[in-house]
Amino acid sequence: MGLKLADRPLEPGYRYFERFTPPAESVEKVRGPEPAINPQAQVHDSILGPWCRVGARTSLSETAMGAFSYIVNDSSSAYAEIGKFCSIARDVRINPGNHPTWKAAQHHFSYRAISYELGDEDDQDFFEWRRSHTVTLGHDVWLGHGVTVLPGVTVGTGAVVGAGAVVSKDVAPFTIVGGVPSKPIRERFPKAVQDGLLAIAWWDWDHERLADALDDFRTLDADAFVEKYA
């Protein structure tokens, strides 16, 4: 399969990884904005923004992850666009493997023929079908422990997905969902506060402005934050 993200233009501070090679030093020693990937992680054909973190035994394939987002241990992501400041817990599956249920055989051999010595080429049309069902996370999304986000789903900015949920439908911004399949529980804020946060778009602030506003992030609730920065 060809590399799909290799030629995408990169914003300042973003890095492309064709295939991650563990550094000599431990990930715990990594400091500063350079993306930090645990030596036990696997990252292939993916883009990571500054301050991104990837945990142990986590795999990323054809995934673009925005600045400050992190995904911790024992998780996986494929064919995904992840916004900035996303918090992804352990044992999360983003766009897990999908199979051609409408065909006579849904087993790997039909599209990974080389591995089974059944053909000279894999079925590239199948993988393009997988890519056409990209998972998209907005900014400041929190995926709890053990969440699964199924192919083609969009999770809006500021949304929360409760632990163990299976997300089969789009999630609106600033909405908390949970369950199998996931269903809306409540909105995090009133509509006016949601609109205010989207207008402020603090996730696009530069590092210095984030630092200047740190006390407000810590002490103000969302309503007061919007009132101050709108």
Q: Which residue has the tokens 């992190």?
A: 70
Q: 174 and 189 in contact (C-beta within 8 Å)? A: yes
Give 120-161 as a DSSP string: SS--HHHHHHHHTT-EEE-SS-EE-TT-EE-TT-EE-TT-EE
Cβ-in-10-Å burial (0-12, 13-18, 19+) of 137 comes to: buried
Q: Which helix (H) or strand (E) holds 59?
A: strand 59-65
Q: Cα(120)–Cα(112) distance, rounded to whole angstroms?
A: 10
What is the predicted pLDDT for the residue at 3? 83
DSSP lists the bridge partners of residue 185 as none
Cβ-in-10-Å burial (0-12, 13-18, 19+) of 75 comes to: buried
Q: Which residue has the tokens 């053909």?
A: 119
What is the predicted pLDDT for the residue at 115? 86
What is the predicted pLDDT for the residue at 141? 98
Q: 57 and 39 in contact (C-beta within 8 Å)? A: no
Output the tens digit of pLDDT for each of the chain's 230 residues: 568 899 999 999 999 999 987 765 554 556 789 999 999 999 999 999 999 999 999 999 999 999 999 999 999 999 999 999 999 999 999 999 888 888 888 888 888 888 888 888 888 888 888 888 999 999 999 999 999 999 999 999 999 999 999 999 999 999 999 999 999 999 999 999 999 999 999 999 999 999 999 999 999 999 999 999 99
Q: Cα(17)–Cα(22) distance, rounded to whole angstroms?
A: 12
Q: Which positions are annotated as active-site residues?
A: 107
Assign 3-class secondary structure to 73-129: CCCEEEEEEECCCCEECCCCEECCCCCCCCCCCCCHHHCCHHHHCCCCCCCHHHHHH
**CA 93 distance to own-chain centroid:** 10
What is the predicted pLDDT for the residue at 109? 85
